[in-house]
């Protein structure tokens, strides 16, 4: 009777959540009991698929808001962004934890994930990424720790954290710079496999720049969602001025992409009728349309339009990462790859759990500032 | 001195004795069904590939500067001084970066195992240590595959090319590819016609990532100084403003 009552009270979103999580659990069972072969469409020719291309490459990038905003607030001392900093740090922390969870699915021997700590190979990009991700996850945990300590009124460790807060932020920015770009460096080793629209010695730079862009886009995206979920005011002036920085960064990124294509003599490829070309243009369009829109003041100040632009940038970013890791690798590997349902299910379940945990943490810990009309503090510097 | 393999496609009759000997040496099953599948896999660490009338062989090339060993985060792949590139399965975490990065697409994975390993030819490392030839070279009835000292095999390959300019495509596959390998292949026709990847750079691939990785210490030191400096400047302003009174406050 209780169960029936519970089922009747579930909302549509809770239903979707339950279905995804149950599906994810079944996929998890298949993955760990029957191996990667039966749970994925990976092969000797195509050893990295959705879990690396989306869960890891995109996951780390989508959590990039953490280091950009921490630098803006603490290093550049632009205090007016402080109200949204904690939520961003929390998202970043959860993002990294989920990336590590996804890695545990993808690694053939997940229980050896600690091996890079003691078995070193400094010549490996993967080794560097492993160390950076581990250290940065620790930094993020410490950056978010004050929220937990405040909740339980533990003042002694709080004071200690305050003392080391600036070195911590600096370490976080450096570590992020290193591994965000290194995710691109991973693919420097496959000049013979990656399609020339994407293979460039500048891959690390492009991964870093696009991570910063998506860091801003994700901050806008999250602010919009948490303002709805928690019935809070949206910090429109804050987000609008952030959108300006985003527009400039995106323009620089896009310009560099084409300058790079021209220098490598790959510009002709953008009109060759192949599947790669279409996906390239999709990726570019998803980044270029928001640039045009965000340069208009009216768009920046309309929450809905701002949100739509942020979503486009996020999709454009995901498209780039998937183009590098999947689309661009298919022809060179002499095979094609479409993820199996289990791969998609695990990915969806990880995202769903991420959303749920964020909601729970935000409810019980001081993630958002008290509802005092804080935005009014922002001096005339709102948007213009 | 290091060991190497010389495989001469013009002498190969496609009898697949090397495949069988290799399977036996690894303790892998081998039957007609497996023989027919001409791709490297967890069950086939070397394979004959048929191209019409001609045959070629695929196996780990044992690069002089192996891409797989350079990308492995835990050093599970190692270029031994003896020549073979060997795999330490007790280190491997299963990230499969070696499989993605290998320019010859050699490493295979035990996809069906709950605790999988990477599988690839190790040039019969323990046999080589004991002074024995590889299993594939020992069994080869036409001596299409021979095993020996790397320098001597290069000299032998050059001798064959010079003695029979009509019969051979005048290049040694593996001599320059990605900085040189320890497996050399001689052909009668251009490499691409036998499915050998001919578009590989002359330089070792690890250079490509090392160029970026070697910048890490610089990024850390300069970045820390820069960020620390910016912090000092931006907060200095605040101190000055506070000292100058309350004009700024409003």
Mean pLDDT value of segment B145-149: 96
Backbone angles phi and psi of B118, in degrees to 5: -80, 140
B117 contacts in chain A (CB < 8 Å) = 108
In this structure, are residues A280 and A196 in contact, taking their beta carbons and an 8 Å threshold? no
Judge: B197–A192 Cβ closer than 8 Å, yes or no: yes
Whether the CB-CB separation of B179 and B64 falls below 8 Å is answered with yes
What is the Cα–Cα distance from A325 to A323, expressed in whole angstroms?
6
Maximum C-alpha span of chain B: 95
Q: Which of residues 188-217 of B touch A (CB under 8 A)?
A: 197, 199-201, 205-206, 208-213, 216
- pLDDT value at B230 more than 80: yes
- Best mutation target among A55, A104, A108, A333 (most B Cβ atoms within 10 Å) is A108
**What pLDDT is attached to residue B250?**
47
**Residues from chain B contacting residue A115 (CB–CB below 8 Å):** 73-74, 91, 93
Give mean pLDDT, residues B81-109.
96
Interface of B with A in 124-183 (CB under 8 A): none
Enumerate the residues of chain B whose CB falls inside 8 A of the CB of residue A74: 231
User: Is residue A62 a contact partner of residue A354, using CB atoms and an 8 Å limit?
Assistant: no
Tell me whether B71 touches chain A (CB under 8 Å).
yes
**Per-residue pLDDT, B221:** 96
- The predicted structure's pLDDT at residue B244: 82
Q: Where are the alpha helices (DSSP H) in chain A?
A: 2-9, 12-39, 50, 57-62, 65-70, 82-106, 115-118, 125-151, 155-185, 203-229, 236-263, 275-294, 297-301, 303-322, 328-333, 341-364
- pLDDT of res. A9: 75
Q: Report pLDDT for A370.
A: 67
The predicted structure's pLDDT at residue A215: 93
Residue B1 predicted with pLDDT over 90: no
Quick one: pLDDT at residue A44?
Answer: 96
The pLDDT mean for chain B works out to 94
Q: CA-CA distance, A82 to A80, in Å (whole number)?
A: 5
Please answer yes or no on whether B112 and A116 come within 8 Å at the CB atom.
Answer: no
Contacts of B223 in chain A (CB under 8 A): 173-174, 177
Using the Cβ of A166 and the Cβ atoms of chain B, whether some distance falls under 8 Å is answered with yes
Beta-carbon contacts of residue A365 (< 8 Å; ≥ 6 apart): A147, A148, A150, A151
Q: List chain A residues with pLDDT less than 50.
A: 372-384
- What is residue B190's predicted lDDT score, i.e. its pLDDT? 96
Q: Is-above-0.95 flag for pTM?
A: no
Structure tokens at B223: 């970045």
Determine contact: A376 vs chain B, CB below 8 A: no
* Number of alpha carbons in the 13 Å side-chain half-sphere of residue B8: 21
What pLDDT score does B246 carry?
Answer: 57
Helix, strand or coil, per DSSP, at residue A357? helix
Q: Give B143→chain A minimum CA distance, Å.
A: 30
Of the candidates B14, B17, B95, B89, which has an alpha carbon nearest to the alpha carbon of residue B50? B14
A77 near B CB under 8 A: yes
Contact yes or no for B83/B3 (Cβ under 8 A): yes
Residues of A within 8 A of B73 (CB-CB) are 115-116, 121, 124, 126-127, 129-130
- Under a CB-based contact definition with an 8 Å cutoff, are residues A80 and A378 in contact? yes
**Residue contact A124–B41, C-beta within 8 A:** no
Length of chain B equals 250
Tell me what pLDDT residue A371 has.
Answer: 57
Name chain A contacts of B101, Cβ cutoff 8 Å: 189-190
Sign of CA dihedral A43, A44, A49, A55: positive
If one compares A232 and B125, the residue with the highest pLDDT of the two is B125
A51: closest CA among A343, A342, A294, A310?
A343
Q: Do A99 and A56 contact (CB within 8 A), yes or no? A: yes
Cβ atoms A186, B72 nearer than 8 A: no
Tokens representing B74 are 């835990």
Residue B235 has pLDDT above 90, yes or no: no
CA angle A113, A117, A123 (to 5 degrees): 100
């Amino acid at each position: 009777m209780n169960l029936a009552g519970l089922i009747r009270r579930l909302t549509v979103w809770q239903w979707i959540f339950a279905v995804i999580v149950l599906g994810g659990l079944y996929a998890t069972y298949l993955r760990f009991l029957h191996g990667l072969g039966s749970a994925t469409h990976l092969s000797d020719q195509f050893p990295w698929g959705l879990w690396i291309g989306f869960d890891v490459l995109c996951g780390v990038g989508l959590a990039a808001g953490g280091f950009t905003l921490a630098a803006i607030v603490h290093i550049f001392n632009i205090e007016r962004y402080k109200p949204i900093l904690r939520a961003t740090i929390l998202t970043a922390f959860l993002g990294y934890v989920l990336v590590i969870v996804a890695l545990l699915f993808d690694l053939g021997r997940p229980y050896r994930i600690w091996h890079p700590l003691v078995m070193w190979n400094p010549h490996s990009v993967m080794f560097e990424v492993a160390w950076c991700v581990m250290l940065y996850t620790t930094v993020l945990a410490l950056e978010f720790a004050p929220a937990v300590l405040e909740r339980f009124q533990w003042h002694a460790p709080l004071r200690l954290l305050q003392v080391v807060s600036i070195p911590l932020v600096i370490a976080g920015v450096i570590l992020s710079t290193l591994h965000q770009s290194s995710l691109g460096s991973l693919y420097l080793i496959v000049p013979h496999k990656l399609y020339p629209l994407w293979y460039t010695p500048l891959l690390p730079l492009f991964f870093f720049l696009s991570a910063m862009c998506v860091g801003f886009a994700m901050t806008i995206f999250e602010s919009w969602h948490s303002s709805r979920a928690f019935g809070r005011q949206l910090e429109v002036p804050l987000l609008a001025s952030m959108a300006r920085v985003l527009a400039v960064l995106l323009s620089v990124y896009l310009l560099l992409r084409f300058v790079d294509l021209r220098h490598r003599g790959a510009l002709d490829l953008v009109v060759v009728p192949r599947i790669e070309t279409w996906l390239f243009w999709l990726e570019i369009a998803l980044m270029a349309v928001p640039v045009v829109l965000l340069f208009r003041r009216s768009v920046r100040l309309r929450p809905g339009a701002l949100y739509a632009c942020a979503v486009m940038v996020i999709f454009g970013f995901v498209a780039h990462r998937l183009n590098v890791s999947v689309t661009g690798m298919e022809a060179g590997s002499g095979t094609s790859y479409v993820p199996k349902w289990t791969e998609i299910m695990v990915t969806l379940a990880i995202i769903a759990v991420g959303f749920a945990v964020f909601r729970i943490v935000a409810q019980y810990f001081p993630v958002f500032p008290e509802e005092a009309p804080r935005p009014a503090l922002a001096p005339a510097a709102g948007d213009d | 001195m290091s060991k190497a393999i010389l495989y001469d496609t013009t002498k190969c009759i496609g009898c697949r004795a090397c495949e069988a000997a290799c399977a036996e040496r690894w303790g892998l099953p081998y039957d007609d069904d497996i023989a027919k599948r001409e791709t490297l896999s967890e069950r086939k660490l070397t394979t004959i590939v048929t191209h019409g009338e001609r045959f070629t062989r695929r196996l780990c090339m044992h690069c002089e500067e192996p891409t797989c060993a350079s990308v492995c985060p835990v050093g599970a792949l190692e270029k031994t001084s003896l020549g073979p590139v060997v795999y330490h399965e007790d280190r491997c975490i299963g990230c499969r970066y070696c499989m993605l990065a290998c320019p010859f697409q050699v490493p295979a994975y035990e996809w069906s195992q709950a605790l999988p390993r990477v599988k690839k030819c190790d040039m019969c490392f323990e046999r080589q240590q004991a002074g024995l030839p590889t299993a594939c070279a020992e069994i080869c009835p036409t001596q299409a595959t021979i095993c020996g000292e790397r320098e001597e095999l290069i000299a032998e390959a050059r001798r064959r090319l010079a003695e029979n300019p009509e019969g051979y495509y005048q290049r040694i596959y593996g001599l320059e590819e990605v900085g040189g390998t320890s497996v050399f292949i001689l052909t009668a026709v251009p490499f691409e016609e036998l499915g050998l990847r001919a578009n590989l750079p002359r330089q070792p691939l690890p250079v490509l990532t090392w160029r970026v990785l070697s910048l890490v210490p610089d990024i850390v030191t300069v970045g820390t100084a820069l960020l620390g400096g910016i912090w000092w400047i931006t907060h200095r302003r605040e101190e000055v403003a506070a000292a100058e009174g309350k004009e700024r406050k409003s």
